[in-house]
Homo-oligomer: A and B are copies of this chain.
Amino acid sequence: MVRKSQTTRLTTQHLANHGVEGIFGEIAKNHDLTVDQVADLAVKQLGMDFPTLTFRHRMQMTKKEINAKLAQIDADLGQVLFLPNGEIRPDGGLIEVLDDDDEWRVVLVTEAKYQGKDIENIQKGELVGKKKDQDLMAAGNAIERSHKNVREIANFMLGEQHFPYILFLEGSNFLTETISITRPDGREVTLRYDSGSLNRIDRLTAVNYSMPINTNLCENKVVTSKGQAIMLQAASIYTQGKGGPWDEADMLAIMIEVATTSIKVLASDLFHQMVAKPNEEVSDDEGR
């Protein structure tokens, strides 16, 4: 997968002529999709998997919406906003389904984070650091900003029983295995997944209560402590543990799995549409 710099975009019409295999076929020909483009494909596939439901894909949610949702749960919440136009923009956007009461419900939120260029640098034979004499760059901490959007969406979904937030990680700061990369001059450089100067996954695991990564945690777990029920909202962290870029087909499959879990949790509120006669039109991403 490439980051936002490339802007190749598949047309809606083109995709509407294809089934699921068609979607994966497109992926095979386009190894340069951004996470929001893969999410666009996920909307298409969800429309085919659930032809009686209506989906939309949008790239932002306003703080006003989040506050309004919080205030519905309790009047003390969602009261403060300094910038009236404030919004959040998870880079893969949000996918929602229209429920039987004509309310949009979130079924998928995705972000793809890339941190650590060591693999690319070594492959190119570039040394790094102030004196340009190191193989590896000490990892930064910008990834910690990811917690903000997770928390914003968790607040928006405080009244839901599911939390379909996926963080796709890529780069040398998110390895789960030790790997060796060969430089152009033939020298091998080892990247240890458990090196404190390299690995930054621990900076994110608070979002899933340090439950397993590469796992669909969409359905909220309820635990109890001293008689108090506590509903957890755990993001699902998926990482390219051996380095290298994400395969778009893998991303799409994970998105569909998590979104399908959301639809399962929401099924009571989608019931009348789910038992309706299928409409042959493919639901489009009218929210864009």
Contacts and interface: CB of A to CB of B under 8 A. Distances in A.
Interface of A: 63, 66-67, 70, 73-74, 76-86, 141-142, 144-145, 147-148, 150-152, 154-155, 158-159, 161, 176, 193-194, 196, 199, 201-203, 205-207, 209-213, 221-223, 225-226, 228-232
17 contacts: A66-B206, A77-B210, A78-B209, A79-B211, A79-B212, A80-B212, A80-B213, A82-B202, A83-B194, A83-B202, A85-B196, A142-B145, A144-B147, A145-B145, A145-B147, A148-B203, A161-B226
Given A158-B225, A159-B225, A226-B159, A206 B79 contact: no
Contact of A151 (B151, B194, B223): B151
A79 B209 CA distance: 8
Contact of A206 (B155, B222, B229): B155
B82 A199 contact: yes
Nearest to A85: B196
A210 to B, nearest CB: 5
Nearest to A234: B77
Given A70-B210, A76-B221, A229 B229 contact: yes
Nearest to A233: B230
Given A151-B206, A159-B226, 17 more contacts: A63-B202, A63-B210, A66-B206, A67-B210, A73-B230, A77-B210, A78-B209, A80-B210, A81-B205, A82-B193, A83-B199, A141-B145, A144-B145, A144-B147, A152-B206, A158-B225, A230-B231
Contacts of A176: 82
Given A63-B202, A144-B147, A230-B231, A209 B83 contact: no
